[in-house]
């Protein structure tokens, strides 16, 4: 058999498998999404109504995100999401740079590059102004082994002046050592020093520059695991690790290349002929962009002054997981718009030919902003409107806040009038405010026009000879004039008519609710059965529907142990399958403390039911019920047995204590249902799908009536059957 030949099905399987692995590989490539962003809050500022949040945003690679999509960020103000905001690049933030030099065995720094060149290369941090001595922080550590003791020496701390870092380098010899070092211990302790120095400053970018020659301990397999662990620790605290490998042969590089890559840093390997200042610049050029911050600018959701809690999260994350949370106090200035005009204007008439002219024809209205919720710039106001008697008559776009001048046309006013003048201003944040109303009084002097002789119209003119000249059509007034006569008129009655009709409808609705509420409270058991028989209202409680059913035999008793005076020691017989006990005689069969509002017995307190040969008790009160000392759950039926004690409400607040007794002939008695009753139950179920066997108790007697004197048992039984049949016929 030729094993190199394959069936067509095998080839198809291989093709499909290859496609499947290709698709899995495509989807397995990690893509940075909003959920992979890390947002740190650097600071908050507020200038009403704008709030500015300075943040640092890192991607999943622990590097600053260069392009921010606002859709990837959510901002919340006091728990309410901000829908519109702007992302603006801001200045770089202060940073912390830590340098760790490994001075282990076989290091050839001085031989390969010279200690002076190495110090000069590290000096580029200051000469190239990578470090700001006023704001940035620097840590310098060295890993050495002396007498078999490995230790991390701290030459420069974050509290020292960054300019002292060069002095710290003078303490490092860069000469070969005789003992191996634990480089990963030095990396771990330096990362811890970074975290401690930045405690409470989550928005400060941090970097670790690791300078080493070779690491020959522990074995390389363990080095890989330790390198990944150091990368994870750096990621967790937002620190990038930059690795400078000063080994021309590139030995012992793999774990540290991976550590730099995973933490978001860079790895460079120095060749023998490299100019160190140029190679170190590759690291320095990457440090500054990683200190880039952004400002999120948005307007507050409210114009009310007060404290605002701001939370910023990547899109899709719950606000409770936000790591960028801060508060800012937003205060606004009171609004003050000053409106000035001539308080009294006198219009003087004059006759020019046959025309009467009044002067002045207009008057200036001056408005200026004395105070706005924030300091206004020249371009902040978008619209100014002059409102006269409630009607906008003139607008000015993009007005100057301190010099808004309107020219009000009063040419149409020919009688004494009072104008109510307001100025309404709008700004670019959609804030709108009005000034106080000013009264502008206009007085028109009286004038008697002089008759002017008219010449007859020329032949062929538009007016027919002998016809009267038409009256001039008045020009509409641009606003409603408030005259002295009309200003004091009372409002028309018709304006109150809608309010009166609304009030009448509300009163009628309240009356209907009160009527039906009282009606339903008055419905007894017999009314319930009658309503059910006639197909009337079924908005009755389950207790009323299921009872009471009166019998001639006592099925239970309640002995009053504590309660109203005159009832203590008495026994109350129960003849029905359903008994309501409480304080309201309209709803209860057994009434305690009738009309006593100080009693802790509720209007309807408990319901006792006899069903399937067993008694149940249900708490329907607001003050609670105890059965044998145990509190009953509201509206949850509980078994009631002979000798049980029932406490209604609080005995110290005019409650009651009852003892439940069951005669021997009532215990475990069950009534057989006749075929007629079963048929009626089927009809009830057909009408009401939620009906159950308990509803049949509406149409059956608890016990057959006892034969009366002079009546045979057979006659009594027949009379009882007739009564049951008549009642069921009515129900059907």
**What are the pLDDT digits (tens) for 226-272?**
999 999 999 989 999 999 999 888 877 889 999 999 999 999 999 98
Mean residue pLDDT of the chain comes to 78
DSSP tag of 280: H
Would you state the pLDDT for residue 201?
79
Give the confidence band of 669 by pLDDT, cuts at 50, 70, 90. very low
Per-residue pLDDT band for 343 (boundaries 50, 70, 90) equals confident
Unique residue bearing structure tokens 């139950």: 681
Q: Who has greater pLDDT, 497 or 528?
A: 497
Predicted pLDDT of residue 690: 43
Q: Which long-range contacts (CB under 8 A, 24 or more apart) does 354-361 make?
A: 354/452, 354/454, 356/447, 356/449, 358/411, 358/414, 358/444, 360/410, 361/409, 361/410, 361/411
Neighbours of 298 (CB within 10 A): 18
Confidence class for position 30, pLDDT limits 50, 70, 90: very low
Element containing residue 254 per DSSP (H, E): helix 254-263
The CA angle 342-348-351, to the nearest 5 degrees, is 155
**pLDDT tens across 711-727, in order?**
444 444 444 444 444 43
Helix (H, G, I), strand (E, B) or coil at 302: coil
| CA distances, 543 to each of 306, 408, 438, 526, 662 (Å) | 55, 77, 69, 12, 21
The string of pLDDT tens digits covering residues 681-704 is 454 444 344 444 444 444 444 444
Write down the pLDDT at residue 366: 95
Q: Tell me: pLDDT of 645 over 70.
A: yes
CB–CB of 573/622 below 8 Å?
Answer: no
Q: What is the mean pLDDT of residues 334-349?
A: 88
**What is the arithmetic mean of pLDDT over 154-175?**
90
DSSP assignment of 46-67:
EETTEEEEEEEEE-TTSSB-SS
pLDDT value for 349: 84
pLDDT of 68 > 50? The answer is yes
Q: What is the mean pLDDT of residues 643-655?
A: 93
Residue that the structure tokens 């205060």 belong to: 331
The larger pLDDT score, comparing residue 224 to residue 716, is at: 224
pLDDT at residue 357, as a whole number:
82
Per-range mean pLDDT, top range of 106-110, 132-136, 241-245, 412-416 = 241-245
Say how far apart CA 466 and CA 477 lie, in whole Å: 33
End-to-end CA separation in angstroms for the chain: 90
**Would you call 571 helix, strand, or coil by DSSP?**
strand
* Region of poorest pLDDT, from 186-190, 264-268, 515-519, 647-651: 515-519
Peptide bond before 637: cis, by omega within 30 degrees of 0?
A: no
CA distance 299 to 693: 65
Q: State pLDDT tens for residues 106-121.
A: 888 988 999 999 999 9
Q: How confident is the model at residue 534 (pLDDT cuts 50, 70, 90)?
A: very low
pTM of the predicted model as reported, rounded to 2 decimal places? 0.50
User: Per mean pLDDT, which range of 97-101, 336-340, 679-683 is the poorest?
Assistant: 679-683
pLDDT confidence tier of residue 458, bands split at 50, 70 and 90: low
C-beta separation of 620 from 635 below 8 A = yes
* Whether pLDDT at 440 is above 80: yes
Asked which of 4-18, 139-153, 171-185, 590-604 is least confident by mean pLDDT, the reply is 4-18
pLDDT of amino acid 519: 58
Between 601 and 496, name the one with better pLDDT.
Answer: 601
Q: Taking a C-beta distance cutoff of 8 angstroms, is the pair 560, 593 a contact? A: no
At CB < 8 A and 24+ separation, what contacts does 704-709 make? 705/551, 705/552, 706/552, 706/553
Angle between helices 525-533 and 713-731 (to 10 degrees): 60
Q: How confident is the model at residue 483 (pLDDT cuts 50, 70, 90)?
A: very low
Residue 466 has pLDDT above 70, yes or no: no
- The mean pLDDT of 291-315, rounded to a whole number, is 90
Question: How confident is the model over 627-633, as a mean pLDDT?
Answer: 94
Q: Tell me the C-alpha distance between 133 and 110, whole Å.
A: 29
Predicted local confidence at residue 457, as pLDDT: 53
Structure tokens given for 205: 């970018």
Question: In which element (H, E) is residue 727 found?
Answer: helix 713-731
More confident of the two residues 36 and 580 = 580
What pLDDT does 272 receive? 87
- Cβ contact 410:474 at 8 Å: no
Q: Report whether 622 contacts 598 (CB < 8 A).
A: no
pLDDT for res 464: 40
CB 422 within 8 A of CB 339: yes
Better-scored residue on pLDDT, 489 or 581: 581
For residue 520, name the pLDDT band (cuts at 50, 70, 90).
low
Q: What average pLDDT does range 391-399 have in this prediction?
A: 94
Among 328-332, 549-553, 640-644, 676-680, the range scoring the smallest mean pLDDT is 676-680
552 three-class SS: coil
């Amino acid at each position: 058999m030729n094993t190199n030949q394959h069936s067509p099905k095998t080839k198809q399987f291989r093709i499909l498998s290859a496609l499947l692995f290709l698709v899995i590989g495509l989807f397995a490539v990690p893509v940075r999404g909003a959920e992979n962003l890390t947002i740190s809050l650097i600071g908050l500022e507020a200038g009403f109504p704008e709030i500015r949040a300075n943040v640092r945003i890192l991607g999943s690679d622990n590097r600053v995100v260069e392009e921010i999509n606002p859709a990837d960020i959510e901002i919340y103000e006091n728990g309410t999401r901000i829908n519109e905001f702007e992302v603006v690049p801001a200045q770089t933030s202060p940073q912390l740079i830590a340098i760790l030099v490994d001075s282990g065995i076989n290091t050839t720094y001085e031989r390969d590059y010279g200690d002076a060149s190495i110090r000069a290369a590290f000096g580029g941090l200051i000469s190239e102004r990578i470090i700001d001595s006023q704001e940035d922080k620097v840590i310098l550590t060295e890993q050495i082994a002396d007498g078999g003791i490995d230790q991390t020496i701290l030459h420069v701390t974050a509290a020292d002046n960054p300019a002292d870092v060069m002095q710290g380098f003078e303490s490092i010899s860069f000469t070969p050592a005789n003992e191996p070092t634990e480089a990963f211990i030095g990396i771990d302790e330096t990362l811890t020093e970074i975290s401690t120095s930045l405690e409470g400053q989550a928005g400060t970018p941090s970097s670790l520059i690791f300078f080493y020659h070779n690491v020959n301990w522990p074995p390389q397999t363990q080095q890989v695991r330790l390198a990944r662990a150091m990368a994870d620790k750096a990621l967790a605290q937002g620190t990038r690790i930059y690795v400078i490998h000063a080994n021309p042969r590139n030995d012992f590089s793999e774990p540290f290349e991976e550590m730099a890559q995973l933490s978001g840093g860079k790895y460079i390997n120095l060749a023998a002929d490299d100019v160190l200042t140029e190679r170190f610049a590759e690291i320095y050029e990457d440090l500054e962009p990683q200190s880039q911050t952004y400002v999120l600018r948005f307007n507050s959701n409210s114009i009310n002054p007060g404290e605002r809690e701001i939370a910023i999260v990547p899109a899709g994350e719950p606000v409770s997981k936000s790591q960028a949370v801060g508060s800012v106090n937003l205060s606004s200035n009171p609004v003050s718009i000053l409106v000035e005009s001539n308080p009294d204007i006198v219009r003087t008439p004059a006759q020019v030919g046959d025309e009467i002219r009044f002067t002045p024809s207009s008057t200036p209205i001056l408005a200026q902003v004395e105070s706005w919720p924030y300091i206004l710039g020249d371009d902040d106001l978008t619209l100014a409107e002059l409102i006269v008697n409630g009607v906008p008559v003139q607008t000015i776009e993009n007005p100057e806040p301190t010099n808004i001048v309107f020219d009000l046309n009063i040419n149409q006013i020919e009688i004494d009038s009072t104008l109510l003048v307001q100025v309404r201003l709008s700004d670019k944040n959609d804030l709108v405010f009005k000034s106080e109303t000013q009264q502008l009084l206009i007085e028109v002097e009286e004038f008697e026009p002089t008759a002017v002789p008219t010449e007859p119209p020329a032949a062929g003119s538009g007016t027919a000879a002998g016809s009267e000249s038409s009256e001039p059509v008045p020009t509409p007034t641009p606003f409603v004039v408030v005259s002295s006569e009309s200003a004091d008129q009372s409002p028309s009655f018709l304006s109150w008519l809608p309010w009166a009709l609304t009030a009448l409808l509300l009163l009628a609705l309240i009356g209907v609710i009160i009527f039906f509420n009282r009606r339903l409270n008055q419905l007894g058991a017999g009314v319930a059965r009658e309503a059910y028989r006639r197909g009337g209202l079924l908005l009755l409680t389950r207790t009323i529907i299921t009872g009471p059913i009166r019998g001639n035999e006592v099925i239970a008793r309640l002995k009053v142990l504590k309660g109203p005076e005159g009832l203590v020691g008495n026994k109350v017989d129960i003849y029905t399958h359903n008994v309501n006990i409480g304080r309201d005689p309209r709803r209860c069969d057994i009434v305690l403390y009738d009309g006593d509002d100080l009693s802790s017995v509720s209007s309807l307190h408990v319901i006792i039911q006899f069903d399937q040969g067993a008694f149940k008790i249900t708490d329907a009160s607001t003050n609670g019920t105890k059965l044998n000392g145990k509190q009953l759950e509201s509206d949850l039926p509980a078994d009631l047995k002979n000798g049980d004690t029932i406490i209604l409400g609080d005995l110290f607040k005019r409650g009651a204590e009852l003892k439940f007794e069951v005669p021997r002939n009532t215990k475990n008695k069950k009534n057989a249902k006749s075929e007629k009753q079963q048929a009626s139950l089927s009809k009830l179920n057909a009408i009401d799908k939620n009906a159950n066997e308990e509803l049949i108790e509406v149409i059956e007697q608890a016990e057959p009536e006892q034969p009366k004197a002079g009546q045979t048992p057979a006659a009594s039984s027949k009379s009882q059957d007739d009564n049951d049949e008549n009642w069921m016929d009515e129900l059907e």
